Structure 1
Amino acid sequence: MVRVINYQSVEKENGEEFLMLVLQGGVEPVKSQATGKMYFTARTVKVPATFDEETCKSLIGSQFEGTIAKVPSEPYEYTIKETGEIVTINHRYEFLTGVDAILKEQVVNSDLVH
């Protein structure tokens, strides 16, 4: 289950604006790679929407079936705001409906099959 926690206006390169819903998944425990200590977090993702601002605002608090999954991506650099440290990341987060999540877990990538 994911919940709409906010919305955001984004400007395209051509100057056109569109809205994105900010979705958040459930709370999950994570072990810090730096300290080895556990902490709690929740994955968030921004998903484009075709709604107007009033509709996006009214959706805050709504829940939808699905999950936010960590998916591989081309490596990119990210600056941690709190420390200024630049790290290389090779994943992104994506909203998946229940069916999409099952398919992603159960279907074997054809590159892995000989």
Structure 2
Amino acid sequence: MLHVKGFKARTNAAGEVFNSLILEGIVFVKSKETGFYYATLKQASLPTTLSEDECKRMVGQSMAGKVKRVDCDPYEVINEKTGETMTLSHRYLYFPESTEQTQFPEMVNEFSESEEELIH
């Protein structure tokens, strides 16, 4: 289950403005040092045709699905707190409960170019 944390207005390559819901979900990660799992919150952005008012009504709602880590082409992100530049080769994307990751391989590269602020 995911939580709609908020939304952001975005601009596509054609210059058109659209809204994306910011979804937050628990992801279980295996520690490289200890081998034990821990829970952490990760966010994914879901493009939508909803208006700003409709997006506002969605904030705080729960929805079915998962946030999953997906490999992608390397890209750079600047840590807003430290100013450090990091190179990442993964994204966290939304997947409906009944959909497997392998059905969306073309989405990964599209998000690589347009969703750079997913990871802070």
> Given the two structures, how large is their TM-score scaled by the length of structure 2?
0.70
Cα separation, 2, equivalents of 1:85 and 1:32: 22
Residue 7 (structure 1) aligned with residue 7 (structure 2):
yes
Amino acid across the alignment from 1:90? S
Conserved 8 A contact 1:2-1:23: yes
Amino acid across the alignment from 1:76? Y
Cα separation, 2, equivalents of 1:40 and 1:17: 34
Post-superposition Cα deviations, 1:26-70, rounded to whole Å, max 9, x if no partner, equal 37577598xxxxx86310111111111111100111111111000
The SS at the match of 1:54 is helix
- Structure 1 unaligned segments of length 5 or more: list them: 34-38, 106-114
1:84: how far off?
A: 1.4
The SS at the match of 1:99 is coil
Report matched runs for 1:1-114 at 5 Å.
Answer: 1-26=1-26, 41-100=40-99, 103-104=100-101
Percent identity, aligned pairs only, is 30
Cα separation, 1, equivalents of 2:6 and 2:30: 24
Cα separation, 1, equivalents of 2:53 and 2:32: 39
> Given the two structures, how large is their TM-score scaled by the length of structure 1?
0.73
Q: How many equivalent residue pairs?
A: 100
- Structure 2 unaligned segments of length 5 or more: list them: 103-120
Conserved 8 A contact 1:18-1:49: yes
1:97: how far off?
A: 1.1
Cα separation, 2, equivalents of 1:3 and 1:104: 20
Q: 1:32 to 1:41 in 2, by over 3 A?
A: farther
Cα separation, 1, equivalents of 2:44 and 2:101: 18
Conserved 8 A contact 1:7-1:19: yes
